[in-house]
Amino acid sequence: MSRIGNSPVSIPEGVTVTVKDNTVTVKGKLGELSQEFSDISIRVEENEVILERSSEKKNIKSKHGLYRALVNNMVVGVSNGFTKELELVGVGYRASNQGQKLDLAIGYSHNVVIELAPEVKVETVSEKGKNPIVKLSSFDNQLVSQVAAKIRSLRKPEPYKGKGIKYVGEYIRRKAGKSA
């Protein structure tokens, strides 16, 4: 059984957390996030957010750790932010961006152009002799992870040569292929 929900969330300097009608609002230097919660009582004491469950039912116990993790991600996001890096592995794979438009050349007949949300900052790094890297950063962990997963789903890494879009540091299980 997980006991993550029992540990309090510490609030760093410059971050304010307010709770009103089961809605938690977190404000920091990078932005503002709000989330609605149910079945869990949330209170702010000094520099900590404490979450307590109303009963010992299974569905409420399962939400306890989830809500604690969501509040922690909100606090970390508005103070530090989150970054996801994607690597394009393949011959001729390229990435470029103009503002919030990400232009990917990933082996299809036409380039794939993705319009990103204004909360997500995008940066492309292309060095000679290295694979292009797309850096996504935002204060909202759910949003930046969803955008990164959407980009990765355009061309998932294949197990034979490892071509495709992968997270930086992700390990791809390789297959041997056919032997003659």
* Rounded average pLDDT per 10-residue block, the chain, 180 residues: 83 93 92 91 91 89 91 95 96 94 95 95 94 96 96 95 94 87
Q: What pTM value is reported for the model?
A: 0.89
- The answer to whether 140 and 119 are in contact (CB under 8 A) is yes
pLDDT at res. 3: 84
- Let me know the angle formed at the C-alpha of 141 by 20 and 77, rounded to the nearest 5 degrees: 65
Could you give the C-alpha distances from 68 to 1, 48, 106, 112, 178, in angstroms and in order? 15, 12, 39, 37, 48
Question: What domains are defined for the chain?
Answer: 4-79 (3.90.930.12), 82-167 (3.90.930.12)
DSSP annotation of 11 reads P
Residue 173: count other Cβ atoms within 10 Å of its Cβ.
7
pLDDT at res. 134: 96
- Mark residue 56 as left, alpha or beta (left: phi above 0; alpha: psi -120 to 50; beta: remaining): alpha
